[in-house]
């Protein structure tokens, strides 16, 4: 009887040892990474790298969802279209700040759970360290935001004012995203930055930026039935520019669209090699704010007008699409 009892005790100890070998943090992350000190997420996968990717992905998702909600709450939405665009902008800002913050991620020692044939690991960021990273980034963004606002105040040139306000708005969105992410690490900082956030959110110049209008005198040469110029204007209207065609009226800048057909005639066949130049200049034409040039392959027909009619509609759509991104990248955000 004693022999059986001894075996029974040994088996209990064996199974207890086996059960204890599974780390408690797999079922209870807070046991090793308390919420008061860490932001931590458990990940699993067939390899250690997969488990780490799963864990850090959950941390990134947590930041993204929380910061988008909080940043949106501090922004004024004018209409559904503006809201959609704003959400996209915030999403981009959050990704940038998230990538920066996730450089502070650390991992514990992975554990291979034989029963589930998976590796488990915790990705975590110490709250104090996370806040320090965010605060450093936020101070840089604050400096950018304030410097662009100051530049906007100093200039009387409408086009440049619009550029500086746009850059200030972008910096303010990044700054708000950074701060709201920082508050996830240390909520006590909300009180410290409350007035500053209100100041950004209620800045009149930035609030009215969507309704800002720059009047441009349009001059076009070589276009066929205004095909290309019309699409150029569509692209610029999305960036708050409005067209004026009469030089006697008041305007803020010049918008020139020059189309070169580079026509060649052979055996009564008209062949064109289109080139298009778009320039945004100061009112007196002396300063070039932005320029865009492009060229296309040949189009042939029995007359110049027919060749243009075949080629220009496609070119105009390509230009509109290109200008929408090129102008923002090379002028507004440069």
Phi, psi of 290 (to 5 degrees): -160, 145
Which CATH topology does 213-332 take?
Double Stranded RNA Binding Domain (3.30.160)
Can you give the pLDDT at residue 77? 35
Give yes or no for residue 48 having a pLDDT over 70. Answer: yes
Can you give the pLDDT at residue 180? 87
Average pLDDT taken over every residue of the chain: 86
213-223 exposure pattern, b = at least 16 Cβ within 10 A, e = fewer:
ebbbbbbbebb
pLDDT, tens digit, 9 for 90 and up, residues 117-143: 999 999 999 999 999 988 998 999 999
Can you give the pLDDT at residue 177? 85
The alpha helices in 102-224, defined as continuous H runs, are 127-154, 158-185, 189-201, 204-207
Give yes or no for residue 12 having a pLDDT over 90. Answer: no
Helix crossing, 80-101 with 48-73: angle to 10°?
A: 140
Q: Where are the domains of the chain?
A: 26-126, 128-210, 213-332
Average of per-residue pLDDT across 5-20: 48
pLDDT, tens digit, 9 for 90 and up, residues 282-302: 999 999 999 999 999 999 999
Dist CA 192 CA 16 (whole Å) = 51
pLDDT, tens digit, 9 for 90 and up, residues 259-290: 999 999 998 899 999 999 999 999 999 999 99
Of the pLDDT bands very low, low, confident and very high (cuts 50, 70, 90), residue 329 is: very high
How many CA atoms within 13 Å lie on the side-chain side of 224?
Answer: 20
Average of per-residue pLDDT across 155-175: 94
């Amino acid at each position: 009887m004693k022999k059986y009892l001894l075996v029974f005790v040994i088996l209990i100890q064996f199974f207890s040892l086996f059960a204890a070998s599974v780390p408690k943090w797999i079922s209870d992350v807070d046991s090793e990474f308390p919420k008061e000190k860490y932001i931590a997420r458990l990940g699993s996968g067939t390899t250690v790298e997969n488990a780490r990717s799963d864990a850090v992905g959950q941390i990134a998702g947590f930041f993204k969802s929380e910061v988008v909600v909080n940043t949106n709450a501090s922004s004024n939405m004018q209409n559904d279209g503006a809201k959609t665009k704003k959400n996209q902008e915030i999403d981009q800002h959050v990704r940038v700040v998230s990538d920066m913050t996730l450089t502070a991620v650390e991992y514990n020692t992975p554990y291979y759970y034989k029963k589930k044939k998976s590796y488990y690991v915790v990705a975590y960021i110490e709250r104090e360290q996370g806040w320090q990273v965010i605060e450093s980034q936020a101070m840089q963004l604050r400096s950018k935001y304030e410097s662009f606002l100051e530049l906007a105040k100093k200039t009387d040139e409408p086009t440049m004012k619009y550029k500086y306000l746009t850059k200030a708005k972008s910096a303010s969105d990044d700054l708000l995203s950074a701060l709201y992410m920082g508050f996830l690490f240390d909520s006590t900082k909300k009180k410290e930055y409350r007035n500053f956030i209100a100041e950004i959110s209620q800045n009149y110049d930035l609030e009215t930026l969507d309704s800002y209008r720059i009047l441009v005198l349009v001059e076009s040469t070589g276009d066929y039935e205004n095909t290309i110029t019309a699409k150029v204007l569509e692209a610029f209207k999305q960036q708050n520019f409005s067209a004026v065609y009469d030089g006697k009226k008041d305007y803020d800048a010049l918008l020139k669209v020059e189309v070169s057909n580079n026509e060649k005639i052979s055996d009564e066949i008209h062949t064109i090699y289109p080139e298009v130049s778009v320039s945004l200049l100061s009112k007196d034409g002396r300063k070039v704010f932005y320029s865009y040039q492009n060229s296309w392959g040949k189009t042939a027909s029995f007359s110049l007008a027919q060749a243009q009619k075949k080629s220009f509609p496609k070119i105009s759509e390509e230009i509109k699409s290109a200008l929408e991104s090129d102008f923002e990248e090379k002028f507004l955000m440069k």
